[in-house]
Amino acid sequence: MDASLNALGNCECLSLSTNQIDRMVPLAGMKRLRILSLGRNQLKKVEKLEDVGETLEELWLSYNLISSLDGLASMNRLTTLFISNNQIKAWSEIDKLAALPNLRDVLLVGNPIYDGLSKEEARLEVLRRLPSIKKIDGDLVTPSEKEKALGASAAGDVGGGLRTTTAGSGMPTE
């Protein structure tokens, strides 16, 4: 990736997937960019997106080497983040996404944060941390999932794992 991309001032969708890109460059000239696809590269971190923070709606970063979600804070219009099959190991990285006001669709499957969790457990954990999400890993969030996730959150799930209680007893069920 180099600065010559900034000459594409009217570009709304840029696909640079499968190019062995290992770092991002500022995109100051791309004032209309809505969709950026950088999947299947060698990126280790999300960076230099501030210039497209007010226009970018979809960011596709799957199949890279990303372990941190720093660098997304300026993405005010982002609705879709595909970041599957990366190196995200800590749920605290997912917590950073809660600051994105329009985020509705995330693809996280294939990251180490899901290791040891069933599909349902992983979805509920994502939903607990990102209650405004409408779609997780390609599937729409169901009303019952939302209820379970918010119930787990309201029950004071401080330890990071999912816990349910027997109705009325306050006693955890395992």
- The domain 3-173 is classified under which CATH number: 3.40.1280.10, 3.50.50.60, 3.80.10.10, 3.20.20.70? 3.80.10.10
Average pLDDT of the chain to the nearest whole number: 89
CA 36-55-50 angle, 5° bins: 80
The total of other beta-carbon atoms located within 10 Å of residue 102's CB is 12
Stated pTM of the model: 0.85
Half-sphere exposure of 12 (CA within 13 A, CB side): 0
The structure tokens listed for 154 are 């309201």
**Is pLDDT of 102 > 80?**
yes
* CA 167 from centroid of its chain's CA atoms: 33
Domain boundaries, the chain: 3-173
Task: Tell me what the mean pLDDT of segment 109-132 comes to.
Answer: 97
Instruction: Give per-residue pLDDT as tens, 26-85.
Output: 999 999 999 999 999 999 999 999 999 999 999 999 999 999 999 999 999 999 999 999
CA distance 173 to 135: 28
Neighbouring-strand partners of residue 15: 37
Write down how long the chain is. Answer: 174
* CA 73 from centroid of its chain's CA atoms: 12
Half-sphere exposure of 10 (CA within 13 A, CB side): 0
**Is pLDDT of 111 > 60?**
yes
Does residue 62 contact residue 39 with C-beta atoms inside 8 Å? yes
